[in-house]
Structure 1
Amino acid sequence: MIDKVFILAAVVFVGILCQWFAWRVKLPAILFLLFAGIIAGPFTGWLNSDALFGDLLFPFISLSVAVILFEGSLTLRFHEIAGLERVVRRMISFGVLVTWLITAAATRLVLDLPWGLALLFGAITSVTGPTVIVPMLRTVKPTAAVSHILRWEGIVIDPIGATLAVLVYEFILAGSSGHALSHTLLAFARIVGIGLLLGSLAGYLYGSILRRHWLPEFLHSVATLGLVIFVFAVSSSIQHGTGLLAVTVMGIWLANMRDVSLEEILDFKESLSVLLISVLFIVLSARLDFHRFFHLGWHVVFIFLSIQLLSRPLSVMISALGSKLSWPERHLLSWIGPRGIVAAAISALFAIKLQAAGYSEAELLVPLTFSVIIGTVVLQSATARFIAKWLGVAEPDPRGFLIIGANLVARAIGRALQQAGFRVLLVDSNWEMIGKAKMEGLETYYGEPVSQHADRNLDLVGIGKLLALSPRGPLNTLSCMHYRMELGPKAIFAIQAAADMEMSKERKAVSHRKWRVLFGPEVSFSSLTKALAHDGWKVRSTTLSQTFDFAAYQLQYGQGAIPLFAVTPKGRIEVFTAEEQLSPQPGWTVIALVADPDRSLVVG
């Protein structure tokens, strides 16, 4: 018992370690989780998943996948795909059909598997992986249309692919008679009917309970988890294979109901999904048998290429016919389609069931599926960003500014940057300040900059630098620390408070601050506020020339100007900081806070 507890704890620890490392290097965590599972299982024999979980292994896998799909479906809102609904519908219908048949034909041709097993493998690999697509999108950063389509496809297609796999499995067991066909069609009708009915009913009733506040907030997360497990179990007990469809429909229904707050539920489910994904991938990859991989040989490469270069492009092109998607967007969609946890889970489940029913060749399902998972994830992770940039459908270069605060100083600087052609996004939890920023034509986000809600809803497309301009010093510090890994330490800047200026040189020397101080050692938030609010200073832009260079600029303005930014003729922007004083050249534009001729800035 102690050994099992230790092994399970080690699996969780290693899984979270893999997630952290993936975050640091900005690669899908599945790569490191698969590697960890292979090392722990086939290579060392340290982890035996079947012995660890026993008969509970596949119930645990099924429930975990249900929770993961439900969490993903809670983020699917119909307004995100306005105008692209037809593309998504086709990708989860015609697209699945094309992928299924081409993959099955290639598998039959290369490995000479029975048609039933080839069709089952085609159904299993018709699903793309939301657990892989989401981190890949963070790295690739494609256009909004491509991103939304891939996210919707990755979540909605999973229960559809799983349903298709169940139908093929039922057909295999029933034989090839006319009775088998009628049995399969009846199973299809039951799966769709029960899944849609139970999912819609559960989503509507639970959404109504949340909207009427009949459930206390501290029970929202745990009640939701319990309901997801209950709906999955009830649906699956009525008709095998309906559980994933039911919980996905339930999540989409909740996500699109009005006046239903899901923030706390999403926070909890996201954390739980990360834990479950980490454990699942390690546990499943630890069950791999490398002798079967070697048995497949180069045949699996042909199957992988048929999926990557034939079935995926063909399914996307058919689905995108007549849509507003550009050709470069269609080409990128044709390249990105990684397989993930659902394919891994259902391949393992059906392999065991079919082997028990006497189909010895079913042992190839798992190595085939994992070969496709590893191949698609590795190839697409390594190339998708380059291809997106080459096609011109990656987000623009990160020239924009995320500004913490919407106060007077932040708005004045934001307006100047926006007028200079840079995207500006102001973040503040003060609604009055946000309202003033909106009135001045500035893009805003109402809420705390460091929060789960901000992580999900803050649009950082084109954002490359952070300016912490809040009067709340701890918030500036927290924001700098939070965004330092995403934007890079060289892109993080913060205004100092007046108290920071009084810090001794010794204390500054041992400070662990990992960002630069804005605008100079003698400039503080209070001094900028006083200059703008009481002394009549304005933010102005001046283009330097051969006859009026930066030295002449400083001579003319003296103490009556605080240089803030310098923009090169090519549009690159540099920030004046306490650590580095720039030397703008002729042709550059200097953005500075400039005094009236008869006034001067009082610093401190």
Structure 2
Amino acid sequence: MFNSLLMDLMFVVLIGVGSQWVAWRTRMPAIVVMAIAGLLVGPIFGWINPQQSMGDLYGPIITFAVAIILFEGSLNLDFKEIKGFGRPVARIVTIGAFIAWIAGSLAAHYIAGLSWEVAFIIGGLFIVTGPTVILPLLRQARLKPRPAAILKWEGIVVDPFGALLAVFAFETIKFINDEVTAKAMMLFVGASLFSVFLGWGTSRLLGSAFEKGRIPEYLKAPILFGLVLFVFVLSDEIMHETGLLAVTAMGMTMANMRLTTLQDIRHFKENISVLLISGIFVMLTASLDPHILIEILNPKIVLYVLAMLFIVRPLSIWLSTIGTDLTNRERTLIGWIAPRGIVALTVSGYFATILLDNGYEDAELLTALTFALVFSTVVVHGFSIGWLAKKLNLTTPEESGVVLIGSSRFVAELAKNIQEAEHQVLVVEDSWGGLSNARKIGLPTYMGDILSEHTGYHLDLTPYRYILAMTKVDVYNSHVCADFTPDLGRDLLFQTSTHKRSAGQQFNLTTGQFLFTPNLSINELEERMTSGFVFRKTLLTNQYSYTQYLRERDDQSILLYIMRADGELEFYTAEKELQAQTGDTIVTLSTPNKTIERTIDRLEGKDGKSNVKKEMVETKFSEEPTNEKPAIPGEAPPKISKTAE
């Protein structure tokens, strides 16, 4: 429709990011939305064809994008975290991957009709289970910790190695077919070792320069990605297809160097990765020939997909986990769930071109085969994981844990109060200093940005039902609620009130529910803590009703939440008026005056005589040093904050 390279590039970017947004709003897998969009603007309506308009640039663009995507994925391979999951993960990512490679290759040859060369290459690539697809499925299904952890780490560890295994298969088959000599094969092995050394050495040098401050902050991300492309191209020029190995080794090395600077550039690299994944996926689908869509319905391809779903995957999991402590129910679930993701699609397109250039005509089927497998696994596993997990009793019960995002003393004290009510809590902040208040009183914490993709890889949010965004940045609080709305629903997302810009005006940014009654900003809540407000709990009884409590409570007190008699939590908001019953507990942030009065009542006998002078009690609870310095962040809370009624 448009005979313009610039117009095609604009469409690719716009459709790619637009598809990501539609997927977020509709809670559909992004890969499905992007595929549909690419097919509509490409082979169906014929509006764009990136491969034709880009010409010779099409291949290098795809190759560069795959290199950066694999590097970004390998940055999540922190082996210190993997060790905690024991033998099952190690078996699945080694023995299981090998079995899946061999079985998948046999299926590709005998069922799909591919030549041995192409079958073993595509079999190696299809061992991947894309983390970009499986992580949303895990959040949706609420699996128990162990099967969820195994599936998550399998996706992260195996994903970068699928392409490398395909490269190894390609070179090995050429050697077996006498297309290359033993000397050339040894040269490939040597070049592979050199690429690993190049990636490792570059990471060590760059990491040292980052940590010693030899590179300014604004140049860190550009230099990092510039060197990624340099390492990839240099390795690939020395020996074709070793560039992917080099950038993977580079990413793995940096992931295990514990570089603090990676936290600073994480947003940038994730944004680049999302943009590349979106754009490249649309480019691949929009460049498809219409006959490939028809080829997907080929009986051989359909049978191959069924074999991968019902034979290859279960077989690899059951055989590789013999002798481990996995139960049969866990093996059944893990053996069924294996969605393929965007990396499989992008790399298969890369190898399809290489194989066709080397004379393997049946490689034309690779794109159709890959699309059929990816779409089938994403849709089938996406709709079945929750149902199967429930049938196998591998879902967690409906938890009422609370994630609190913020660094203030109020956030830490609220989390401590909820924890004392026997609910799980987690305080999240993006700096160690910001977590000092929570760490001082022994609360579970996580340092990281809750909106980061890296956090999604490493933080299990399954036990937590509520998210309370209470940072001092209103826009960020709104973004947190917006980001988790598709997964949790708005009823479980809360944020503190926005700051007032002028009299009677507030930022109109909220996507979560405004917390507490009255709803106050986090700064106002922190001021109450500084002025001596304390957390108070009031149990409703037959003699003391909710109506009486509301009538008698201090006008300055802030209603925080109700802990129901059955343990359920309900937070007060500006949108919903809560009702409480006998057996419920009301939690408020109140002035110490009520605490003083009740202490006096307890000290007085039934005859009304006091054993301690009232003036002494008032002094004990109400004296607030006027010349004292403000509370230091991280300081342990005053004992008065633990007073409960």
Q: Which shifted more, 84-93 or 264-273?
A: 84-93
Change (3 A) 1:532 1:18: closer
**Following superposition of structure 1 onto structure 2, how do residues 82-231 of structure 1 map, counting pairs within 5 Å?**
82-84=83-85, 86-140=87-141, 142-143=143-144, 145-170=146-171, 173=174, 176=177, 186=186, 189-190=189-190, 192-231=192-231
**Following superposition of structure 1 onto structure 2, how do residues 82-481 of structure 1 map, counting pairs within 5 Å?**
82-84=83-85, 86-140=87-141, 142-143=143-144, 145-170=146-171, 173=174, 176=177, 186=186, 189-190=189-190, 192-295=192-295, 297-323=298-324, 325=326, 327-394=328-395, 397=398, 399-427=400-428, 434-445=435-446, 460-467=461-468, 472=472, 475-476=473-474, 478-481=476-479
Q: Which shifted more, 288-297 or 121-130?
A: 288-297
Report deviation, 1:248.
0.8
1:590 equivalenced with 2:589 (yes/no): no
In structure 2, list runs of 5 or more residues that go unmatched: 599-617, 623-645
Report deviation, 1:596.
2.5
Q: Secondary structure at the match of 2:597?
A: coil
Report deviation, 1:66.
0.9
Q: Which shifted more, 344-353 or 179-188?
A: 179-188
CA distance in 2 between partners of 1:548 and 1:585 (Å): 10
Q: Secondary structure at the match of 1:464?
A: strand
Deviation per CA, 1:378-420: give whole Å up to 9, x if none: 2122222443455454565352333344545434433322122
Calculate the TM-score normalised by the size of structure 1: 0.85
Deviation per CA, 1:317-340: give whole Å up to 9, x if none: 333344455555443332232223
Change (3 A) 1:191 1:306: farther
> 1:550 pairs with 546, 552, 560, which one?
546
1:574 alignment counterpart: 570
Q: Secondary structure at the match of 2:536?
A: strand
Structure 1 counterpart of 2:60, one-letter code? P
Structure 2 counterpart of 1:126, one-letter code? I
1:48 alignment counterpart: 49
Aligned length: 593
Change (3 A) 1:429 1:15: closer
**Following superposition of structure 1 onto structure 2, how do residues 14-25 of structure 1 map, counting pairs within 5 Å?**
14-25=15-26
Deviation per CA, 1:488-537: give whole Å up to 9, x if none: 4333445558969x955xx68x9675554444348787886677665675
2:484 alignment counterpart: 486
RMSD: 3.8
1:520 alignment counterpart: 517
CA distance in 1 between partners of 2:15 and 2:587 (Å): 49
Calculate the TM-score normalised by the size of structure 2: 0.80
Q: Secondary structure at the match of 1:590?
A: strand
Contact 1:101-1:122 at 8 Å conserved across structures: yes
Change (3 A) 1:160 1:412: closer
Change (3 A) 1:160 1:406: closer
Report deviation, 1:215.
2.0
Q: Which shifted more, 10-19 or 202-211?
A: 202-211
2:612 alignment counterpart: none
Deviation per CA, 1:349-388: give whole Å up to 9, x if none: 4434444444433322221121111111221222224434
CA distance in 2 between partners of 1:111 and 1:524 (Å): 61
**Following superposition of structure 1 onto structure 2, how do residues 24-39 of structure 1 map, counting pairs within 5 Å?**
24-39=25-40
CA distance in 2 between partners of 1:558 and 1:540 (Å): 13
Contact 2:135-2:457 at 8 Å conserved across structures: no
Deviation per CA, 1:222-273: give whole Å up to 9, x if none: 1111111111111122222211111111111111114552123322211111
CA distance in 2 between partners of 1:497 and 1:282 (Å): 39
Report deviation, 1:13.
0.7
Deviation per CA, 1:418-467: give whole Å up to 9, x if none: 12222233356797774343333323456777778877776644333344
Contact 1:199-1:250 at 8 Å conserved across structures: yes
Report deviation, 1:52.
2.0
Q: Which shifted more, 277-286 or 89-98?
A: 89-98
Deviation per CA, 1:166-202: give whole Å up to 9, x if none: 344345556646x879579647634642333222222
Percent of aligned positions with the same letter in both sequences? 35
Change (3 A) 1:557 1:173: closer
CA distance in 2 between partners of 1:575 and 1:83 (Å): 35
CA distance in 1 between partners of 2:509 and 2:56 (Å): 51
Deviation per CA, 1:111-149: give whole Å up to 9, x if none: 444333333332232233344334444444545555554
In structure 1, list runs of 5 or more residues that go unmatched: none
Q: Secondary structure at the match of 1:566?
A: strand
CA distance in 2 between partners of 1:306 and 1:443 (Å): 44
CA distance in 1 between partners of 2:374 and 2:408 (Å): 49
Change (3 A) 1:223 1:380: same
Q: Secondary structure at the match of 2:560?
A: strand
Report deviation, 1:581.
3.0
Report deviation, 1:56.
2.3
CA distance in 2 between partners of 1:353 and 1:117 (Å): 11
Q: Which shifted more, 136-145 or 80-89?
A: 136-145
Q: Secondary structure at the match of 2:4?
A: helix
CA distance in 2 between partners of 1:468 and 1:265 (Å): 23
Structure 1 counterpart of 2:53, one-letter code? L
Structure 2 counterpart of 1:596, one-letter code? T
CA distance in 2 between partners of 1:481 and 1:180 (Å): 55
Contact 1:167-1:187 at 8 Å conserved across structures: no
CA distance in 2 between partners of 1:397 and 1:200 (Å): 45
CA distance in 1 between partners of 2:115 and 2:103 (Å): 15
Structure 2 counterpart of 1:221, one-letter code? A
Report deviation, 1:150.
4.0
Contact 1:63-1:229 at 8 Å conserved across structures: yes
CA distance in 2 between partners of 1:157 and 1:405 (Å): 34
Structure 2 counterpart of 1:228, one-letter code? V
